[in-house]
Amino acid sequence: MVRRWLVTGCSSGLGRALVAAAAAAGDVVVATARRTGTLDGLVRTHPDRVLPLALDVRDPAQCEAAVAAATDRVGGLDVLVNNAGNGVFGTVEEVADDELRDQLETLVVGPWRLSRLVLPLMRAQGAGDILNISSLAGRMAFPGLAAYVTGKYALEGMTQALAAEAAPFGIRVSALEPGGYATRYGTSLTDAAGRSPLYAAFTDPMRGLLGAMAEGPTVGSAEEFARTVLRIVATPGPLPVRIPVGPGSHAYVEAAAEAAAAELTAARALLDGTPS
């Protein structure tokens, strides 16, 4: 079958690779980016299958226009991929209210709004997939990336609620938790304006690690990620609500589960006097 996709954040990285892979597989993609010029190459390669559109997910009117374009110009929507994301680097004390709000607009409010807009369309079709590109930072927090972690935890909470709400209508909703993939993510982080030397002993090394993430020996390619997403979408039946994908992701989720179990044991010891 030819699937119709709407993907956010297609100027680079995972979103861009996903558009290329879906179009190469014969699907039709409403490919969106804040700067549409970044989509020119994709359109040149697949002029009949890639429909470029301006979309900053923080902008409600542009979100509405993108979903309307899917209805009017490609006749419906089979897959929404909430991929757009960026990161504000800083601890809780360093990140200001407006920086936090902006981070949550991109990571949570945008995906929430787009999901709300596509639900009537998918419900009428009796089918559809909503894939939220989360992070392993939505499983276990990294200190120093407090706003990003908060956004991804919120996205995972929304995904879990929506998965149960939408399932009766034949709509599948999952959060994908990428392990390390070589993209601009680590280098496009912005520093909170209030970064303080007080935290530098642990934030500086972490900033360095994230900046070099794409060059690490254990990172995957965006193309591998895209192939995995195509496989997930083509798999019939219910999907896991949270899907860790890519290098190191399964080990990370196991570590997060062990940390949760240890926390429960410690809480029991605290409250019941049970030995920990």
Ligand X SMILES: NC(=O)c1ccc[n+]([C@@H]2O[C@H](COP(=O)([O-])OP(=O)(O)OC[C@H]3O[C@@H](n4cnc5c(N)ncnc54)[C@H](OP(=O)(O)O)[C@@H]3O)[C@@H](O)[C@H]2O)c1
Catalytic residue status for 188 = no
> By C-beta, is 106 or 159 nearer to ligand X?
106
> By C-beta, is 125 or 224 nearer to ligand X?
224
DSSP per residue, 137-195: GGTSPPTTBHHHHHHHHHHHHHHHHHHHHHGGGTEEEEEEEE--B-SSTTTS-EE-TT-
Q: Determine the Cα–Cα distance for residues 253 and 184; give it in Å rounded to an integer.
A: 23
Q: What phi and psi, each to the nearest 5 degrees, are found at residue 165?
A: -70, -35
Q: Residue 150 is encoded by which pair of tokens?
A: 């908060």
Q: Residue 110 is encoded by which pair of tokens?
A: 């945008």
The window from 82-90, 166-174, 196-204, 236-244 that contacts ligand X (CB under 6 A) reads 82-90
The window from 12-20, 40-48, 193-201, 267-275 that contacts ligand X (CB under 6 A) reads 12-20
DSSP 199: G
Report helix, strand and coil shares of the chain as percent, to nearest 5. 55, 15, 30
Which one of 18, 53, 74, 84 is in contact with ligand X (CB under 6 A)? 84
Which one of 15, 111, 128, 244 is in contact with ligand X (CB under 6 A)? 15
Binding to ligand X, residues 131-160 (CB under 6 A): 133, 135
Name the catalytic one among 148, 153, 181, 185.
148
Q: Is 218 in the site for ligand X (CB under 6 A)?
A: no
Least separation in angstroms between residue 219's CB and ligand X is: 7
Torsion angle, alpha carbons of 179, 49, 113, 223, to 10? 0
Catalytic residue status for 115 = no
Binding to ligand X, residues 106-125 (CB under 6 A): 106
List the beta strands (DSSP E) in 110-158. Answer: 128-133
The window from 3-11, 40-48, 93-101, 160-168 that contacts ligand X (CB under 6 A) reads 3-11
Q: Residue 230 is encoded by which pair of tokens?
A: 């195509």
Name the catalytic one among 11, 115, 135, 152.
152
Binding to ligand X, residues 22-81 (CB under 6 A): 33-35, 55-58
* Partners of 4 in beta bridges: 28
> By C-beta, is 83 or 115 nearer to ligand X?
83
Q: Residue 201 is encoded by which pair of tokens?
A: 């002993």
Number of residues that bind ligand X (CB under 6 A): 28
Catalytic residue status for 134 = yes
Which one of 71, 86, 160, 221 is in contact with ligand X (CB under 6 A)? 86
Q: Residue 152 is encoded by which pair of tokens?
A: 């991804």
Can you tell me whether residue 220 is helix, strand or coil?
strand
Least separation in angstroms between residue 227's CB and ligand X is: 15
Q: Is 228 in the site for ligand X (CB under 6 A)?
A: no
In the numeric block, the tokens 């605290």 are attached to 270
Q: Residue 246 is encoded by which pair of tokens?
A: 């890519």
Q: Determine the Cα–Cα distance for residues 3 and 27; give it in Å rounded to an integer.
A: 5
Please give the residue ranges that form the binding site for ligand X (CB under 6 A). Answer: 8-9, 11-15, 33-35, 55-58, 83-86, 106, 133, 135, 178, 180-181, 183-185, 188
Catalytic residues: 134, 148, 152
